[in-house]
Structure 1
């Protein structure tokens, strides 16, 4: 177990802690009398717009864009409600918003803990799909609008193929890849899935389908057989879902507060007009967060940093103004005790991935680092996680995809149809190797193939070393193949199954903190730095990519 050596903080950290103590005390002095009057019988969690991993740089912009709530905040509110004697239950508002497989897995576990603590859980939806059905099945009551739709359909992974369209346009693809299953560019050069791609996707879809069945069966379906029957007979109108027991009642949205009031212990039928008192998740969080406690200004670091890496890893992310710079600052911070790297990324640029990987490794030499994989932590997303002390993934996370692909298009014949031609003067045998208006020579393709093979070999070598496996064993589970988190655990690509809560618990253990101790702070790249992380389409087209080809929607 990694332990953090005790050391006195710098004067700047002492001053900051002192100001935080004073600010926290003043805040509670002013707000507590007002917050104590906030009703908190039923906490409303709005999931109808989906869930996000990271916030926008500006709170006012977040409100203007009506961004979905953060997964971490929703789980925090559910944890507070679980222990709050004044809270009778939680109302989930479901809808068509994207939730994602890993996020729903985390929410389902949190709902189970709420019910075990004696809290009521009610799910309400007007229109929803697989995710809503899963969470609705986990609730005590699942209500829908009378004319709503429940699209419980199962799992489908569909891939578009452009080969014939490109042939008609006289555009030629040029694809070089390393890894038998690295199928990210098959969409350009084939008309259907290769045998290897189908094999990998069949395994992923089957495991996700099993997760959906298990979720329904552990809830109101009661058995895997009934869950399969529900899926195979979908989709449903709300009235049809009620007939088979998937939905409990048909309720209009304006009737929900009165129906909730009827669920209060010993209430029976509520008086006409009596409604339950509802509080939004944001308002409840301000009320329920642990009140101010004086923190020793000379004590050891107690901050747990959560760094969110979301989306494509683009050139520039490895700069001092990108994620690498942020990780370096956290490594030097006297106030940060440990770090959770929360990853929801299909990968991207190899250089940026490698620079982030190195920064994570250097950080892990000084402080405990746990990588927590969200819906996707694959290819370059997995690469950056490898250097952490441990990797934790949800059973439904898409991960692995250890491989490399380089894809480009040749446009000369297409442009010739439009009357566009090019002429050039060059020096150097390979000066035009990236030119999209001429075919590469066999010598040039061999040169690029060698580079792709070297990148793949290096990826496998680093993964094997970080995971404590031989290169031969690692190569067998690499080959560009996408795995679910449960598959990855079986092949030692991840250490433990679970979500962000499990990662925080583990990083506390590694850093010698008591359960629930430490202040959790989320970090992200600044909006100014974000401008430096963008790259041009031409720049991306020229380079190899650590990129996962698979996306499977739950909703």
Structure 2
């Protein structure tokens, strides 16, 4: 009886929630018109959470919609529009502990510099800023922070986590086969420290990003790079020390910083426009572009086979081959899109899926002009899908390459022995137990596996050579699984140009011989949907609906060690098989 009553109660709650959501959706649909800026004001842009590439679907509940993360494209287009909006007299940037890679930070900094060309003042107010926050903020005319805060500017470091000792204690052995001396993915499970090859590759990446950061800060603060390097050896800085060293311009609270901007912009300090509200104007313009569109096609996250509805968590951080190819095919046949800018932010994943993605993109390239813009990472399978033969652009801080193949499987026999679990079975065929987790691979099975990996590696190098119009031998010198920083002169053959979204668009206009470019609008593809429509579409479950509706609004902070363990067992690895996957996740901080 209790269960029956509980079921009825849950039904009423669900029905009430559905009616509430539907009500909000109907109100929003009825009032959907172009939002307007309310009088002369300065724009307040708060960057204090994750910056992503793919826009979230529009949520019918306004509060939840306001919590959706910013995308690089949204920030860029908000600033572009605000720069020409006569009602916007200045920009107040509020930042601190923003989660993004260095390439995204470079794009944001370029967007701020472009906004400054309008002649409107830009002031930044920082809360416990890290190196990326500060790097972006130095594009502003004035940087301030609270006098009891501190600037976490002390150089950069990169670390790699090794699980071998932990796995030994658990009785787990990970068997790995790979091609390329730099393809050291399995080292996280089989070693306890970096190999010389890993140190070489990661050291070069660290040097490249460090140079990008130092140069940007030096330009912004009108100092020499040598001065900035010297200062970083004395960091981090308490706010008063940062002011003394002229790393910031003032110490004040947020209201005081806003008052200062209002004075310079010649508006009331209470005349503020939220960039979150201003973002609605951008989305409205996306919806209203009929046939003058360039598709901003985002490939973000791990590459997996099949569909993202298979229980791999947040589908926004997954490139599921079936789903992505379906979108590519639809885009190819949509005449309202004149060209395509493919934006990649992926360390790769499944080898077969990445090959399918490349084939689909090559077909798209035959139908429409295509240019590739790399974000923070476009490596291994993420680089593989970029070699369509079209122009590739990357930021100086983009991590790319990692041309190699790896296969790994766990041997859990030791763990099973510890917990008293046994297995017994039969097989027909020498290699039928190749992927068994209860025993190590035999020499025969390992030889057979090597044959497959070597063939996959040759295919990878060959397709890169074909896409880059290079000799196989030339690409081989850049391969061997090594990850590169795009600004490394040795790696320049992997890309065509250093630059961000604007440079990629210029290349796309040239490639497609596109005219009247002022009328073309870069819009996300597939188009953003109202979440309510997606919830009740045929191929979505209610559980997926609530995840997309509320998942972004209730993100709990997780301990660092939990994040480390999660990184160690990513979706592509759980699927198994051969992987075109970057050996490690690099977070330079």
- Check whether TM > 0.5: yes
Which residue does 2:335 correspond to in 1? 334
Distance (Å, rounded) in 2 between the aligned partners of 1:72 and 1:373: 13
**What aligned pairs does 1:72-151 form with structure 2 within 5 A after superposition?**
72-151=73-152
Q: 1:60 to 1:504 in 2, by over 3 A?
A: farther
Once the two structures are TM-superposed, the CA of residue 480 in structure 1 deviates from its matched residue by 0.7
Once the two structures are TM-superposed, the CA of residue 469 in structure 1 deviates from its matched residue by 0.5
Structure 2 residues not aligned, in runs of 5+: 1-28, 308-318, 545-568
How many pairs align?
513
Q: 1:322 to 1:427 in 2, by over 3 A?
A: same
Higher mean displacement: 131-140 or 484-493: 484-493
Which residue does 1:5 correspond to in 2? none
Q: 1:294 to 1:61 in 2, by over 3 A?
A: closer
Which residue does 1:223 correspond to in 2? 224
Higher mean displacement: 436-445 or 542-551: 542-551
Which residue does 1:39 correspond to in 2? 39
Distance (Å, rounded) in 1 between the aligned partners of 2:286 and 2:574: 48
Which residue does 1:6 correspond to in 2? none
Structure 1 residues 314-361: Cα deviation after superposition (integer angstroms, max 9, x where no partner) = 111598851111111111112221111111111001111111100000
Residue 517 of structure 2: SS of its match in structure 1?
Answer: coil
Distance (Å, rounded) in 2 between the aligned partners of 1:403 and 1:364: 25
Residue 586 of structure 2: SS of its match in structure 1?
Answer: coil
Distance (Å, rounded) in 2 between the aligned partners of 1:257 and 1:349: 49
Once the two structures are TM-superposed, the CA of residue 417 in structure 1 deviates from its matched residue by 1.6
Which residue does 1:275 correspond to in 2? 269
**What aligned pairs does 1:444-463 form with structure 2 within 5 A after superposition?**
444-463=445-464
Please tell me whether the aligned partners of residues 415 and 421 of structure 1 are also in contact (alpha carbons under 8 angstroms).
yes
Please tell me whether the aligned partners of residues 489 and 496 of structure 1 are also in contact (alpha carbons under 8 angstroms).
no
**What aligned pairs does 1:280-295 form with structure 2 within 5 A after superposition?**
280-286=274-280
Once the two structures are TM-superposed, the CA of residue 225 in structure 1 deviates from its matched residue by 1.4
Structure 1 residues 254-294: Cα deviation after superposition (integer angstroms, max 9, x where no partner) = 333322222236x9xxxxxx525111123335568998999
Distance (Å, rounded) in 2 between the aligned partners of 1:541 and 1:282: 38
Once the two structures are TM-superposed, the CA of residue 537 in structure 1 deviates from its matched residue by 6.4
Higher mean displacement: 403-412 or 500-509: 500-509
Once the two structures are TM-superposed, the CA of residue 173 in structure 1 deviates from its matched residue by 1.8
Distance (Å, rounded) in 2 between the aligned partners of 1:99 and 1:537: 21
Distance (Å, rounded) in 1 between the aligned partners of 2:159 and 2:335: 49
Which residue does 1:472 correspond to in 2? 473
Structure 1 residues not aligned, in runs of 5+: 1-26, 268-273
Residue 399 of structure 1: SS of its match in structure 2?
Answer: strand
Consecutive aligned runs of 4 or more in structure 1 exceeding 6 Å deviation: 288-295, 525-532, 535-539
Please tell me whether the aligned partners of residues 484 and 491 of structure 2 are also in contact (alpha carbons under 8 angstroms).
no
Please tell me whether the aligned partners of residues 180 and 480 of structure 2 are also in contact (alpha carbons under 8 angstroms).
yes
Once the two structures are TM-superposed, the CA of residue 408 in structure 1 deviates from its matched residue by 1.6
Distance (Å, rounded) in 2 between the aligned partners of 1:290 and 1:118: 26
Once the two structures are TM-superposed, the CA of residue 444 in structure 1 deviates from its matched residue by 0.2
Distance (Å, rounded) in 1 between the aligned partners of 2:272 and 2:389: 41
Instruction: Return the match for 2:521 from 519, 522, 526.
Output: 519
Which residue does 2:194 correspond to in 1? 193
**What aligned pairs does 1:225-244 form with structure 2 within 5 A after superposition?**
225-244=226-245
Distance (Å, rounded) in 2 between the aligned partners of 1:219 and 1:40: 28
Higher mean displacement: 456-465 or 429-438: 429-438
Distance (Å, rounded) in 2 between the aligned partners of 1:31 and 1:335: 22
Higher mean displacement: 248-257 or 212-221: 248-257
Q: 1:312 to 1:488 in 2, by over 3 A?
A: farther
Please tell me whether the aligned partners of residues 174 and 409 of structure 2 are also in contact (alpha carbons under 8 angstroms).
yes
Please tell me whether the aligned partners of residues 156 and 206 of structure 2 are also in contact (alpha carbons under 8 angstroms).
yes
Once the two structures are TM-superposed, the CA of residue 212 in structure 1 deviates from its matched residue by 0.7
CA root-mean-square deviation: 2.9
What TM-score does the superposition give when structure 2 sets the normalisation length? 0.81
Which residue does 1:57 correspond to in 2? 57
Residue 407 of structure 1: SS of its match in structure 2?
Answer: strand
Higher mean displacement: 321-330 or 346-355: 321-330
Distance (Å, rounded) in 1 between the aligned partners of 2:49 and 2:506: 28
Residue 35 of structure 1: SS of its match in structure 2?
Answer: coil
Please tell me whether the aligned partners of residues 257 and 278 of structure 1 are also in contact (alpha carbons under 8 angstroms).
no
Which residue does 2:580 correspond to in 1? 546
Distance (Å, rounded) in 2 between the aligned partners of 1:165 and 1:144: 42
Residue 408 of structure 1: SS of its match in structure 2?
Answer: strand
Distance (Å, rounded) in 1 between the aligned partners of 2:51 and 2:570: 29
Once the two structures are TM-superposed, the CA of residue 538 in structure 1 deviates from its matched residue by 9.7
Q: 1:91 to 1:305 in 2, by over 3 A?
A: same
**What aligned pairs does 1:60-71 form with structure 2 within 5 A after superposition?**
60=60, 64=64, 66-71=67-72
What TM-score does the superposition give when structure 1 sets the normalisation length? 0.86
Distance (Å, rounded) in 1 between the aligned partners of 2:152 and 2:582: 27
Structure 1 residues 51-87: Cα deviation after superposition (integer angstroms, max 9, x where no partner) = 1111233434895382321110111111122233433
Which residue does 1:316 correspond to in 2? 306
Once the two structures are TM-superposed, the CA of residue 196 in structure 1 deviates from its matched residue by 0.8
**What aligned pairs does 1:384-463 form with structure 2 within 5 A after superposition?**
384-387=385-388, 389-463=390-464
Distance (Å, rounded) in 2 between the aligned partners of 1:72 and 1:95: 20
